[in-house]
Every structure is written in structure tokens, then in C-alpha cells.
Structure 1
Amino acid sequence: MRRTLGYVGAVALASVVAAASVPSAAWAEAKHSTAVVSADRTVWLNPGQTLKAGDSVRSSNGAYVLHQQEDGNLVLYRGTTPLWSSQTGDSPGAFAAMQSDGNLVVYRGRTPLWASNTGDSPGARLAVQDDGNLVIYDGKTPLWNRHATIGVLAPGYPLKPNQYVRSRNGDYQLVQQEDGNLVLYRARRALWSSKTGGNPGAVTQMQKDGNLVVYLGTTPLWDSKTGKNPGARLEVQDDGNVVIYDGSRPLWSTKTGS
């Protein structure tokens, strides 16, 4: 059995699993079945298919494995190196379901632990690609990939270099750049930044205390000053505003809404 990913070892691209994003009976629709290899050698997890604890899907070139671990974590490996995870460890018995509505969800029993937030796209399916990417496609249109979080950055999750949170309408991206700067873009136009460039390797953390912090190692470079609000989350909205909410109460924003 593969080793369990720790918090630091996992690459988190998870987002909040709101009740509205997971149909109430969707957990029951999934069937345990084998991933499909298409004529172009892409390996697909199709609507209705699941990965139960211990199941894996390997890319057609054999270099990458998407493994549903027995501890509940869904992890993409290259060899023994973890590249991405759902950060759902400590949930033994969890399984991953590619739902017919287009949402990829990790469940423990009937409880959703993580979701790609790509529902409302019936027929969408997950590709385990030979280039090491995980992509959910609606036909030929990519909806999600392992570098992206859709809509929400949940408490406890980081953005590592080249990872981003994308608005649901696809117009805006909050990107953790390789140079250490956290930047909000519309297309190629920068609308806001943390002004932390010149710090390659910096990581942004949506902390469980509600504070959004850009760190270089253990040194904070910038923060939203929204601590003492446990459970607060960050949202990249369709209007271009990035907001930290405690429930429905806004705590901080980039003030970039249209």
C-alpha cells in the first residue's frame, strides 16, 4: 500500500463542498467499474464510475497513477512522488465518484469530503493524461485540472506556485506565481496583487483561523488580517471581486468587483 500523504506533502487543489454542489442522492448513483482507455490512449474515468479504497487508474504511458488510498486520500503519483491530492486523508473507506452531473467527489459514506465543483456539466469525465495532468472535460472543453480550484479556497488549504483559484465563470484567476506574488487576473490583465514578488517558492495559505497569508518558508510576507475567524473561506467571484467570508459576512476583499 502506498504511503499516506501528509499535509505538507500533498498538493491541495480542493474547494469547499457546499450542499448545493453535491446532489443529495448522488453518492448512490456511482458504480464501481474499470476506467476506459479510448482510441487516442487517453485513460478516462467516465460518468458513474468510482474508485474505491485501494483502486488506481494509471495513465496509458504508465508514468502516472491516480490512487484512492485506504486512508481516504485521492492522490496522483509519479512513481513514489505525490503530485496532487484531495487532502481527504484520515477518512478510511472514502471513495471517489465521477458523477453523471460532471462533479468529481470524494465521499465517506454519504458525506462529501471534497469536490471539483464542476456539477451542471452532465456527461463530463476525468482524464488521467500522459503529461501528468488530471483534467475534467465536457466534450473537448476543460472544466477543471489539478492546478486549479473552482470558486472557493477552503480553510486549511494552500496555493503553491502555479496553482490558482478560478471564478466559476472562468473570467478571473487568483494565481500564486513562481516569483512569490499572488495576483488576480482577468485574461492577462492584473487587477490586484499582494506585492510579494521577488520571493520564489512562496506559498499562499487560507488558514483555519480565517487569515489569508503569503509565506516564504515560515516567514509571513503579506496577510489579509482576518484571523480570529475560524472557518472563513476565500471566494473568487464571477464579478471579479475576491472576498474572504465568515459565513455570509465579508471580512476582506480586493475591491475589484465590476
Structure 2
Amino acid sequence: MRSLKGAAARGLGTSAVLAAALALPLSFAPAAGAATADRTDDRLSAGESLKPSESVKSDNGQYKLIQQAQGNLVLYGPGGNALWSSPASGSPAYATMQREGNLVIYNALNKPLWSTNTAGNAGAYLTVQDDGNLVIYSADNRFLWSRHAYVGSLPSGHTLKAGQWVQSENGQYQLVMQKEGNLVLYTKDHKARWTTPTADAPGAKATMQKEGNLVIYSSSGKGVWTSPTAGNPGAYLAVQDEGNVVIYSKDDKPLWSPKQTG
């Protein structure tokens, strides 16, 4: 039985460009009705936006989330070290915590560039925590997304880097991109149910490609494993409440699921 809604599981197009800051056009403006974030607070509430160079910081002041002029949203830690970055477009952009629950980066023409894929959670908010985590919570404080984890699915065009994971909505299963290169499905008690044969690729990442296949790339960018699902643009990966890993087409038809143990 499916535990995901397809429309909520699909991602927006992304482009991983980290360029030098660009000058802000005079015509630039956030979407109508969006408020400017209170930069003395640790959160971006529903309906609030970050314009280029605006930021939200943790209560302890150690971590700061900055909307960069070139389009990417970056979390900085102590000493100014970049801990996380959204994909960027190479053009001026702003970030909005939308009222329906999505954190979305828009360019100056109000075209969406990237999303956390958390729509359907009206009143959700983003917070920069004192431990350095960047988290989206629902209005009733349920975990929806973080810089380390996705809940329910890995959308088309999104990537799991080493140390990141997708967890089932009930929190019982996690698909973890491990530092040695394996992508592993774990139960809550840390029992492995499935793994890719990629342990000899330290620093690898897993990308749900826009053409439909899940690919693990080595740190040098070489493909070392792939699912047999190419030719299905917009497909996404789901980690379901019953413990299945499934790749679905954009219209929610199951395409592939690995054979699991346990």
C-alpha cells in the first residue's frame, strides 16, 4: 500500500552552479505578499522570504543561513565554513517559506529553481538550530525535512551526499548514503535490509536523475551503480512505511524495487 502522494513527492528542476555573487537588479522583488524575515529570529515562518544577502541565524549565533545573490541558499557554521548549500542557478534569487509548506528558491522572474518538496503542510516553518541543523517543521512541530534528511522520498533531480538519508514517514526505515560509498536501507534498530555493492567508493553520492534512474557516483564523478529505470523523466525514489524502497514514475507507477533481506 503506497504511503506517499505523488504530487508531493516530485521535485522541482535544479541546477548545481556555485558562482561569484552577482549584482542585484533594480527590478528584483520577492513574490507578492511575502514578508522579509526577522533576522533576529532563528526561523523563517510561513509567508516570509529571504532576499539576497539576508539571513536567519541560530539563537546561539554560531550558524547563519544566507540567501546568496547568485541563487544558492547557504548555511555557514563557526569560522564561516559552509556546511550546506542548495543548488543554484547562477542568477539573482530569493527564498520563500511558502504558506503551503514548501521552501522554494525563485529567480528574479519568479521562476522556481529549487524546492524542499514539503508542500501540503500549511504553516510549516524553517529553523536554524543551535546544533547546526537546518530543519523544516510542520505547524504542529512534526519533522518534515532537514539538510541531512528527506522524509518519504528523494525527488527527481535531488542528491544524497555522504551522511544524508531518506527516511520513511513513520520513521522506521532509513536509506543512508554512507561515507564508504554504499547506499543502505536500515530498520530502526539498524539492521541492514538492502545495500548497493559500492563500498569501495568513499565519498560517493546518490542522485535521482531527471531522466529517471538512480545513480551512485564516485567522488571523481564516475557512475559506479545505477537502477534500471532510465527513460522515465521525473521519476522519484520512495522509502515507504512498510520498509520498501521503490522508484516510481512521475505519474506514480512503480518502476523498480530492489530485492531485500530480512
Matches within 5 A, 1:70-149: 70-78=69-77, 79-92=79-92, 94-108=93-107, 109-138=109-138, 139-149=140-150
Alpha-carbon distance change, 210 to 121 in structure 1, aligned in 2, over 3 angstroms: closer
Match of 1:32 among 33, 36, 54: 36
1:164: how far off? 0.9
Counterpart Cα distance in 1 of 2:144 and 2:155: 19
1:128: how far off? 1.1
Deviations 1:157-212 (A, max 9, x none): 32111101233444432110123221122323332211333543222233344332
Partner of 2:238: 235
Match of 2:229 among 214, 226, 231: 226
Alpha-carbon distance change, 106 to 191 in structure 1, aligned in 2, over 3 angstroms: same
Counterpart Cα distance in 2 of 1:169 and 1:120: 17
Counterpart Cα distance in 2 of 1:105 and 1:199: 32
Partner of 2:17: none
Alpha-carbon distance change, 154 to 137 in structure 1, aligned in 2, over 3 angstroms: closer
Partner of 2:178: 177
User: Unpaired runs of 5+ in structure 1?
Assistant: 1-13, 19-26, 38-42
Partner of 2:11: 16
Deviations 1:12-62 (A, max 9, x none): xx97149xxxxxxxx54421231453xxxxx12222221012212233333
Match of 1:247 among 235, 246, 250: 250
Alpha-carbon distance change, 227 to 159 in structure 1, aligned in 2, over 3 angstroms: same
User: Unpaired runs of 5+ in structure 2?
Assistant: 1-8, 14-30
Aligned 8 A contact 1:117 1:150 in 2: no
Report the residue type matching 2:192 in the other structure: A
TM-score of the superposition, structure 2-length normalised?
Answer: 0.72
Aligned 8 A contact 1:244 1:250 in 2: yes
Identity among equivalent positions (%) equals 52
> Could you say which structure has the higher strand fraction?
1
Aligned 8 A contact 1:242 1:255 in 2: no
1:228: how far off? 4.5
Report the residue type matching 1:62 in the other structure: G
Alignment partner of 1:201 is 2:200: no
Counterpart Cα distance in 2 of 1:228 and 1:100: 34
Report the residue type matching 2:36 in the other structure: H
Counterpart Cα distance in 2 of 1:239 and 1:111: 36
Other structure's SS at 2:159 match:
strand
Other structure's SS at 2:143 match:
strand
Aligned 8 A contact 2:135 2:145 in 1: yes
Alpha-carbon distance change, 141 to 226 in structure 1, aligned in 2, over 3 angstroms: closer
Counterpart Cα distance in 1 of 2:181 and 2:10: 22
Counterpart Cα distance in 1 of 2:146 and 2:97: 14
- Aligned residues, how many? 229
Aligned 8 A contact 2:149 2:165 in 1: yes
**After TM superposition, which residue ranges in structure 1, 4 or more long, deviate above 4 angstroms?**
228-231
Partner of 1:153: 154
Alpha-carbon distance change, 137 to 154 in structure 1, aligned in 2, over 3 angstroms: closer
Report the residue type matching 2:243 in the other structure: G
Aligned 8 A contact 1:71 1:90 in 2: yes
Alpha-carbon distance change, 250 to 82 in structure 1, aligned in 2, over 3 angstroms: same
Q: How well do the aligned residues superpose, as a CA RMSD in angstroms?
A: 3.0
Other structure's SS at 2:38 match:
coil
Partner of 1:166: 167
TM-score of the superposition, structure 1-length normalised?
Answer: 0.73
Other structure's SS at 2:89 match:
coil
